[in-house]
Amino acid sequence: MKKLPPLKFKDGKFKIMVVGDLHEGYYPKEESISKKKTADTMKLLRKAMEELEPDLVVFIGDQGKADDDAGMRAVISRITAPFVSRNVPLALVFGNHDRECELPLERQLELYAQEYENFYTYDAVPELTGCGNCNILVKDSKGKNDILNLWFADSNNLCENPNVSYYDWLHEDQIEWYKKTAQQIKEEHGGKTIPALWFMHIPVCEEYELLRQAKPHEIPDAVRGYGDRSKNFYVLKDYVEGYLGEGPACSEVNSGIFDAWKEVGDVKGAFFGHDHMNDFAGYYDGILLAQNKTASFHPYTDGCRSGVRLITLDENNVEDIQTRMYHFKQFGLKSESLGPVQRTFTDRQVMKIKAASWIAGGVAVSVAAALAAKKKKEK
């Protein structure tokens, strides 16, 4: 692994831009609509770079796929293009869809390191479940002391037994590695716990603690839960900021990582992708849980509300996490790939409009049929 300079705060601040679910490279034919979707995504990333000037970019999983080195190099060069000119440090975690190609994750990691000069993710212990589990320490503005730690974990793919859970979860060996490494870091820093952030693709089950079950009159604006929770409808609790567009699709088995964070005491905030339409953030039991909406226009998305999340930390109080989403629409950008309806409404609003028009259509057909029957009878 090449030696990179340590990450450090600049003028007292450290800004991380989290980029979710790019899903690039699925479109071998390069149809014009795919080109337009990529163009919109790049427009967003370039604008975000200009406006937000992050010190680190984190891809939060489902970056893209290709079946050979050349294809993956093309995908990587496309999705990192907005960051090359400033040579911004880049890190990532893998998502479930990054496995849907011929190239193993280990090879993808090598290619990222070859294609992007300032690439920080590494596979700390190759024997561990998953790929790219690692941590990166960040120094203060003087470059002297480590004052922040960043954890990157692979939330794996699908569960081997779909009767247990659709999605897999963080395995026991990964949690043990985290606890052991956190202890080592503490010992190396004179017994001091370094505050940390956690980045992972699939959210933890505790995200549901930020939601509450919808009252009957709220159901039209609520989302259906995922998996075991699909009989219930949810809305965000009052104190939670952001947008709930779908039921969090976490594993139905709780890995225990949230309890491990509490036990170790270093993780102050955890950041997730996977659910393309969710971008809420709120505290549960003292830890910030924050969702990243997709930054792309390729997968199922939320119209012009695709966006990036910025995390801003101050070196005088690293535990005070300032974070918010920046949406395509808020940047004043114009989409080439979306039609007028998608430009105006969220996907959920579009679904509701369609459902209402189907119901209205159904009612109209029934009324017409009833009238026709009545008329026939009267003849």
Q: Quick check: 40 binds Fe ion (CB under 5 A)?
A: no
Q: Does 24 bind Fe ion (CB under 5 A)?
A: no
What residues does 119 pair with on adjacent strands?
Answer: 90
Stretch that binds Fe ion, among 14-22, 52-60, 248-256, 282-290 (CB under 5 A): 14-22
Minimum distance, C-beta of residue 62 to Fe ion, in the bound complex (Å): 4
Minimum distance from CB of 356 to Fe ion (Å)? 28
Q: Does 123 help bind Fe ion (rule: CB under 5 A)? A: no
Query: Which of the 8 DSSP states describes residue 315?
Result: T
Residue nearest to Fe ion (CB): 62
How many chain residues touch Fe ion (CB under 5 A)?
2
Residue 62 in the binding site for Fe ion (CB under 5 A) = yes
Closest CB to Fe ion among 130 and 195? 130
Q: How far is the CB of 199 from Fe ion (least distance, A)?
A: 15
Q: Which is nearer to Fe ion, 166 or 284 (CB)?
A: 166
Contacts 24+ apart (CB under 8 A), 335-340: 335/40, 335/297, 335/304, 336/36, 336/39, 336/40, 337/33, 337/36, 337/37, 337/39, 337/40, 337/297, 338/40, 338/297, 338/303, 338/304
| DSSP codes of every residue in 275-313 | -TT---EEEETTEEEEE--BS-SSSS--GGG-EEEEEEE
* Nearest CB to Fe ion, comparing residues 152 and 167: 167
* Residue with smaller CB distance to Fe ion, 62 or 154: 62
Q: Per rule CB under 5 A, is residue 21 in the interface with Fe ion?
A: yes
Please return the burial class of 120, using the count of CB atoms within 10 Å of its CB with bins 0-12, 13-18 and 19+: buried
| Of 131 and 202, CB closest to Fe ion | 202
Tell me if residue 53 falls in helix, strand or coil: coil
Binding residues (CB under 5 A) for Fe ion: these are 21, 62
